[in-house]
Amino acid sequence: MAPKGFPELLKEHEDELVESLLHWSLSNGLIMYPPNYAKYQANNAPITLFPTPFPKKLYENAIEVQEVFNELYVNVISKEKEWLIAKIKELSEFDQSFTGELFNIYQKILSENGGKLKQELSLGLFRSDYMINSVDETIKQIEFNTISVSFGGLSSKVGKLHQYLNNSGYYDDKYSMKYYDNEHIPISNSINKLAKGINEANYYYNDQTHNTKTVILFIIQEGERNVFDQRHIEYSLIENHQLKSYRLSLEKVQEEVVINNDKLYIKQTMDEVSVVYYRSGYGPNDYTSSKCWESRYLLEKTLAIKCPSILTQLSGTKKIQQILTNEEILKKLLPKIDTKTYNQLLSTFVKIYPLDDSEEGKYAKKIIFEDSSKFVLKPQREGGGNNIYKEDIPKFLQKIDEKDWGAYILMELIHPPKYSNKIIRNDEIYNEDIISELGIFGSIIFNETTGEIKLNFESGHLLRSKFSSSNEGGVAAGFGCVDNIYLYE
Amino acid sequence: MAPKGFPELLKEHEDELVESLLHWSLSNGLIMYPPNYAKYQANNAPITLFPTPFPKKLYENAIEVQEVFNELYVNVISKEKEWLIAKIKELSEFDQSFTGELFNIYQKILSENGGKLKQELSLGLFRSDYMINSVDETIKQIEFNTISVSFGGLSSKVGKLHQYLNNSGYYDDKYSMKYYDNEHIPISNSINKLAKGINEANYYYNDQTHNTKTVILFIIQEGERNVFDQRHIEYSLIENHQLKSYRLSLEKVQEEVVINNDKLYIKQTMDEVSVVYYRSGYGPNDYTSSKCWESRYLLEKTLAIKCPSILTQLSGTKKIQQILTNEEILKKLLPKIDTKTYNQLLSTFVKIYPLDDSEEGKYAKKIIFEDSSKFVLKPQREGGGNNIYKEDIPKFLQKIDEKDWGAYILMELIHPPKYSNKIIRNDEIYNEDIISELGIFGSIIFNETTGEIKLNFESGHLLRSKFSSSNEGGVAAGFGCVDNIYLYE
């Protein structure tokens, strides 16, 4: 059955819908700081007016494979460590100043501690991102994020907003009915589930160290505009788990912490930190000076559980994503997987090629100059916004030295369906076709040495949408926004 | 036992406290629109950094008398209607354009319906405001508000904020402890209790009219900056009671409603309105044209339960407050009251004099010219900010015609204790002595004709504070802010 489109409202009804949407967003923390903000003033976050259709079956697929994906990455990190490290070494060649630096810290810590980690337990708060491929009606994984996954806070809020607008009748042209069945526009419980992941890691730390009163340390960017997204998780930690959090930037860590017997303390209070939760440190821009790298080193070498550890962070590079699409490797890493789940997992992969001297790499280097129209070129590094599409790829590759091609992967283009929706940014309404990306959050606590998994659970969803034209680089105004799913069968 | 003062924090701790306070406020709707606002952007509401000491015994006193006060006003309205009407007639002489207009509508509606009200049930959402008199350690009633009582929304929020800051250790100089016992800084449940009052009135309306699906109509001011305070009640109505609300200004009522068989409907949806909840219409400025008066008339003559009815609104004038301090009248209106409660009630009254030709009025006219230092002169009309203090009173009275003195009451000055606290407005911190006013909310559903009380309950609290200097008119920057109580014994 085709999904119904968004409701056609009279101008005056849309005005009321928008006013109610803005009041709700501002009242309930669905907000962001604007650029050049004052700390006492916030704007509504860019969001869609309506939830966006998403086939129920594909949403369920994504939910069903999340724990398997969590496990897959944990198995890479723990059971194929040598192999992972070899790959990271290769990557470091292309990216000495970031991947290389992280890897150096990892090696240094091991060598200082007789080849062992001080803290073998690791917390992963992951997010697997998908787009629908309309060619074969499957979801295809865009990337698997292993550090600083964001929008778990605002995603819960936008779901509540859409249900509020639905319940209040604003989506109905006569105000008298619910336009959607609330079951079809589920609210992501990501705020509480991500907080639960952190709380559970805190529990394991306390169990290990015979502690009772520990705190969480959020590592944050100075001047973060998306701070409320993070704060919602902090509020859930204190409200639901009586667990206190501190916030420090990498710039300030060294002045504000004390390390004693490998334990990490907040200097002022001597509160002991159980979990270091990175909401910064995922890209080179987060390390503004060598001081920040030292901070990272200091944190890593403590007994605190890191979310994520360096190896977990580095397992999220696109190179690993590319390798994991190989069926043999996949079977080796998930030996006990049942056929149904295995096929579900496989169905989410698009072809990804390396651009190196392997057989596959050689093949890719050939075909990209024959027909580039089916591909996107992505840098290994985190960040986004640096992708190169279609016919721009050969031109780009010709401009750089072939030995640097290995810093990129070549990925088959996904053809997402376009939907009508309306995006609100400040008080401007944009009415264009959008494409959407579904993210599924996952929480996992595991032993990085033994691979033992203590806890593994799916942790809510996120839909982000942008103008379909912005994917092609055509529209300057193409910004993303937080959306929610409207499930249809 | 003396209360402890607010915690002395290091500058850097105060900075962190302020940042956390701002983030929490913005994340949780403890906000207001600034002047000249854009609809997509809100500021944190002016609040105190810390809760302000308030003697537990006096807080409990205020709580204990709230239902009696609710009942007292209902008895004035229903059981002493003729007497009340006679007083309102007198007041109308001095205030034809507002009190007079309201009274005209009341009379017109009665005369059109054979001397009866269309809807005899009435909802009162009241707030009784007190200051502590440090002379005798009692609370003294400042005024009893019977219409549009505000800050029930933000009061719940500021309580939650102070508890969050306390739980997170921000109030402790070492961050390591809770500076306050949470039991001593109770959160006002006014959002949910005021919503419950409205929901119960909706129930009685449905019971009366054999309806199941009705809605609430908020009558609002255009461009209201304190809109979030109202919206929190709306969100509680939809979330806890699945009860939908509309918002209309007096200017727009006539275009947007339909009246059919005395029933009030929203034109677009033909949703039937069970309760008209006035968050506008309490002062002359809310009636920008004769159209607004017609709107009020239209609403009043319907079957919808009004919160409040015209007579309930007018019972909140200071003249009635003045008369009710008379012990004989009080006993007559509350014949069944026990001695303890009666004394509690009495203890909240300061001497209030009329300035008319009664014996008391003549006495007041005399003493005010002998020693004005103990008094404040207040206009009968709602509004605030127009009070005249001490030696300014004789000067003021001499400037106006004696026949107009009846538009004022003379009230003994209350001497509130001063406390240290810090007020934050935008990101400026003001560190001055403050004085505070405690408000207790109350909800009551009653039959205006028979006086039967269907439901009567205390509905949370509010503490508002301002610079102690601002009471004397000395400081231009003297603005009020939302605060919360820290109870001590």
Question: pLDDT digits over A456-472, tens only?
Answer: 999 999 999 998 875 44
Residue A252 has pLDDT above 90, yes or no: yes
Q: According to the model, what pLDDT value does residue A477 have?
A: 39
Q: For residue A218, what are the β-bridge partners?
A: A247, A277
B41 → closest Cβ in A28, A41, A168 = A41
CB contact under 8 A, B26 and A169: no
B42 → closest Cβ in A26, A176, A228 = A26
CA distance B183 to B59: 13
What is the value of ipTM here, to two decimals?
A: 0.95
Nearest to A275 by CA among A204, A213, A202, A211: A202
Alpha helices of A28-151 — where are they, by DSSP H? 56-79, 81-94, 101-112
Please enumerate in sequence order all residues whose Cβ is within 8 A of that of A201, keeping only pairs 6 or more positions apart, or say none. A121, A123, A274, A275, A305, A307, A445
Q: Is A464 designated active site?
A: yes
Q: According to the model, what pLDDT value does residue A383 have?
A: 55
Indicate which residue of A127, A306, A319, A422 is catalytic: A127
Q: According to the model, what pLDDT value does residue A476 have?
A: 35
- Which tokens belong to A297? 């080193």
The DSSP-derived string for B411-468 is EEPP-PPPEEEEEEETTEEEEEEEEEEEEEEEEEEEETTT--EEEEEEEEEEEEEEEG
CB contact under 8 A, B244 and A427: no
Q: According to the model, what pLDDT value does residue B407 have?
A: 84
Closest approach of B459 to chain A, Cα-based (Å): 22
Q: According to the model, what pLDDT value does residue A158 have?
A: 98
- Nearest 10 degrees: Cα torsion A263, A264, A268, A269: -60
Residue A286 has pLDDT above 70, yes or no: yes
Q: Which residue of A has its CA nearest to B236?
A: A164
Which of the residues in chain B have pLDDT under 70?
1, 174-176, 381-385, 470-479
A40 → closest Cβ in B43, B164, B174 = B43
ω before B308 within 30° of 0 (cis)?
yes
CA distance B187 to B363: 44
Q: According to the model, what pLDDT value does residue A441 have?
A: 98
Residues of A in contact with B169 (CB under 8 A): 244, 269
pLDDT 10s digits, A62-102: 999 999 999 999 999 999 999 999 999 988 988 899 999 99
CB contact under 8 A, A168 and B22: no
Beta strands in A341-449 (DSSP E): 352-354, 375-379, 388-389, 408-412, 419-425, 428-447
**pTM, entire model:** 0.96
CB contact under 8 A, B169 and A238: no
- Nearest 10 degrees: Cα torsion B190, B193, B195, B199: -170
Residue of B41, B49, B267, B425 to mutate, interface with A, max A Cβ within 10 Å: B41
Nearest to A44 by CA among B29, B220, B18: B29
Q: How confident is the model at residue A226 (pLDDT cuts 50, 70, 90)?
A: very high
Place of tokens 């009748």: A169
Q: According to the model, what pLDDT value does residue A473 have?
A: 40
pLDDT, mean of residues A244-269: 96
| CB atoms inside a 10 Å sphere around CB B452 | 13
- Which tokens belong to B172? 């402790």
Q: According to the model, what pLDDT value does residue B49 have?
A: 96
CB contact under 8 A, A427 and B40: yes
Residues of A in contact with B228 (CB under 8 A): 23, 26-27
CA distance A13 to A17: 6
Q: According to the model, what pLDDT value does residue B384 have?
A: 56
CA distance A438 to A421: 16
pLDDT 10s digits, A427-439: 899 998 999 999 9
Please enumerate in sequence order all residues whose Cβ is within 8 A of that of A225, keeping only pairs 6 or more positions apart, or say none. A32, A33, A34, A35, A37
CA distance B209 to B265: 14
The DSSP-derived string for A180-203 is S-GGGSPPP-HHHHHHHHHHHHHH
Q: According to the model, what pLDDT value does residue B4 have?
A: 83
Please enumerate in sequence order all residues whose Cβ is within 8 A of that of A215, keeping only pairs 6 or more positions apart, or say none. A243, A244, A245, A246, A266, A271, A272, A273, A274
Q: Which residue of A has its CA nearest to B237?
A: A168
- Residues B417 and B134: beta-carbon distance below 8 Å: yes
Cβ burial A23-58 (10 Å sphere, 16+ → b, else e) = bbbbbbbbbbbeeeeebbbbbbbbbbbbbbbbbeeb
Q: Is A127 designated active site?
A: yes
Query: Edge to edge, what strands does the sheet with B31-32 contain?
Result: A31-32, A41-44, B41-44, B31-32
Q: According to the model, what pLDDT value does residue B375 have?
A: 95
- Dihedral sign of CA atoms A252, A254, A255, A256 in order: positive
Q: According to the model, what pLDDT value does residue B235 have?
A: 98
Q: Which residue of B has its CA nearest to A10?
A: B268
State how far the alpha carbon of A116 is from the alpha carbons of A106, A315, A449, B28, B111, in Å. 10, 19, 9, 44, 91
CB contact under 8 A, B43 and A43: no
Q: How confident is the model at residue A175 (pLDDT cuts 50, 70, 90)?
A: low
Residues of B in contact with A28 (CB under 8 A): 28-29, 235
Q: Which residue has the higher pLDDT, B480 or A481?
A: A481
Residues of B in contact with A176 (CB under 8 A): 269-271
Closest approach of B9 to chain A, Cα-based (Å): 12
Residue B263: exposed, middle, or buried by beta-carbon count in 10 A (0-12, 13-18, 19+)? Answer: middle
Q: Is A145 designated active site?
A: yes
Q: Is A274 designated active site?
A: no
- Residues B263 and B272: beta-carbon distance below 8 Å: yes
Q: According to the model, what pLDDT value does residue A407 have?
A: 84
- The one-character DSSP state at B37 is -
Q: According to the model, what pLDDT value does residue A479 have?
A: 64
Q: According to the model, what pLDDT value does residue B387 have?
A: 87
Q: According to the model, what pLDDT value does residue A315 have?
A: 96
pLDDT, mean of residues A237-241: 97
Q: Is A296 designated active site?
A: no
pLDDT 10s digits, A288-306: 999 999 999 999 999 999 9
B269 → closest Cβ in A41, A176, A269 = A176
- The one-character DSSP state at A6 is -
Residue A176 has pLDDT above 70, yes or no: no
